[in-house]
């Protein structure tokens, strides 16, 4: 519930209101078409997003809803030296329940719709609960990084997603108001998904800033998610997962100067359809051994789908969520979820050696977080680790 002893400053109110106005000017351009089981028509005929339960075994905003909401705001913050993570997370969980139910006056009258808030804690906080726990390891540094100190790492992640872009800043302001001076914001990034492209089984991937379908491969079945996505233990983290955030600037002019065939060779897929260059359907596994009559690989040696292929790398699957960004520069906010950090680090290490796609990217922010298990009224957010 709202903190009675803290009121948003006039500057905070103006910042949020200005963001709402700006979002309102662009919301009509955001793709959020009705999906089966996702939206219900309102009396006026406008699709109304269905609510997403905030409580359960897993936090919302990872596998639910499907497809993901088109708008995202990621806020990364640090806890103060004297702040106690347990009570803070409990309060944030209560606030999330109130926001998603439409019961928090700090929503300023906006209906919550399909709003989700996903909370993660960084390696420093995880280590205070146990140095050997999943999520206690910091991300290593990689090539093609230009990351300021404030944009590397962090103690707390708030991933806020919604069909209505107006909700992002309003929900973030409410959560940060609840946290008060116990947290200090490091950086934030708003982003959006491109047009959804169905690829079978009720699944859809988005088309990214470079024009290609992004997020086809991943742990989509329940069995794959239990194997590669969700943490099975220890009990304090069971039902959670590990997230990696990487904000990347893209060299769009240089990529756009390539021919379509050259662009497709970078990805290893056809740009329009998403079908692998080795053939099949968009959902087909690329045949990395397939060759032309003169002995050339159909999927080039430096193609992204080859360098990031989990079988080639020797890792499990990662659930990838890529969002397109305009500020501070055109690019992507890449978010992956996996139950072993090595799934990401080994993949990027393999890509670093020869992936043609990385030649057009510069990473400007990077962090990893333990996404806490799901919660409810009887089991507060984070109580398994910090209770």
Which letter does DSSP use for residue 291 in this model?
Answer: B
Length of the chain: 387
pTM of full prediction above 0.75? yes
Q: Closest Cα to residue 308, out of 345, 340, 359?
A: 345
Q: Please state whether the peptide bond connecting residue 234 to the residue before it is cis, i.e. omega within 30 degrees of 0.
A: yes
123 with 26: CB under 8 angstroms?
A: no
- pLDDT (tens, 9 = 90+) of the chain, 387 residues, equals 554 444 444 344 334 444 443 433 333 333 333 333 355 544 445 577 899 999 999 999 999 999 999 999 999 999 999 999 999 999 999 999 999 999 999 999 999 999 999 999 999 999 999 999 999 999 999 999 999 999 999 999 999 999 999 999 999 999 999 999 999 999 999 999 999 999 888 889 999 999 999 999 999 999 999 999 999 999 999 999 999 999 999 999 999 999 999 999 999 999 999 999 999 999 999 999 999 999 999 999 999 999 999 999 999 999 999 999 999 999 999 999 999 999 999 999 999 999 999 999 999 999 999 999 999 999 999 999 998
- Listed as own residue / partner, the contacts of 32-39 with beta carbons closer than 8 Å and 24 or more positions apart are 32/69, 32/70, 32/163, 33/196, 35/67, 35/196, 35/204, 36/202, 38/65, 38/66, 38/67, 38/114, 39/163
For the chain, the domains span 10-27+50-386
In the chain, the largest separation of any two C-alpha atoms, in whole Å, equals 74
């Amino acid at each position: 519930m709202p903190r009675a002893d803290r009121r948003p400053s006039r500057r905070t109110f103006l910042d949020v209101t200005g963001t709402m106005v700006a979002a309102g000017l662009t919301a009509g351009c955001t793709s959020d078409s009705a999906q089966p089981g996702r939206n219900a028509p309102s009396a006026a005929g406008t699709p109304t997003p269905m609510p997403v339960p905030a409580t359960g075994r897993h936090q919302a905003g990872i596998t639910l809803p499907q497809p993901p909401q088109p708008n995202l705001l990621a806020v990364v913050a640090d806890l103060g030296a004297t702040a106690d993570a347990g009570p803070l997370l409990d309060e944030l969980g209560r606030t999330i329940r109130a926001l998603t139910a439409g019961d928090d006056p700090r929503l300023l009258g906006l209906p919550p719709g399909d709003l989700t808030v996903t909370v993660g804690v960084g390696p420093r906080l995880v280590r205070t609960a146990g140095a050997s726990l999943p999520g206690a390891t910091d991300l290593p540094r990689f090539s093609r990084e230009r990351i300021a100190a404030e944009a590397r790492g962090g103690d707390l992640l708030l991933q806020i997603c919604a069909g209505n872009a107006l909700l992002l800043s309003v929900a973030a302001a409410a959560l940060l108001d609840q946290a008060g001076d116990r947290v200090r914001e490091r950086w934030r990034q708003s982003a959006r998904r491109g047009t959804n492209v169905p690829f079978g089984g009720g699944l859809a991937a988005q088309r990214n800033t470079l024009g290609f379908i992004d997020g086809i491969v991943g742990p989509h079945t329940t069995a794959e998610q239990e194997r590669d996505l969700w943490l099975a233990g220890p009990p304090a983290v069971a039902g959670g997962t590990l997230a990696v955030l990487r904000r990347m600037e893209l060299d769009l002019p240089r990529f756009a100067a390539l021919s379509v065939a050259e662009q497709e060779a970078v990805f290893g897929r056809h740009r329009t359809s998403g079908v692998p260059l080795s053939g099949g359907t968009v959902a087909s596994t690329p045949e990395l051994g397939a060759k032309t009559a003169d002995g050339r690989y159909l999927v080039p040696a430096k193609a992204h789908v080859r360098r990031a292929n989990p079988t080639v790398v020797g890792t499990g699957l990662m659930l990838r969520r890529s969002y397109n960004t305009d500020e501070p520069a055109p690019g992507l906010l890449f978010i992956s979820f996996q139950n072993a950090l090595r799934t990401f680090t080994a993949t990027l290490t393999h890509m670093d050696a020869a992936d043609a796609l990385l030649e057009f990217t510069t990473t400007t922010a990077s962090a990893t977080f333990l996404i806490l298990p799901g919660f409810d009224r009887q089991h507060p957010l984070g109580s398994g680790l910090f209770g």
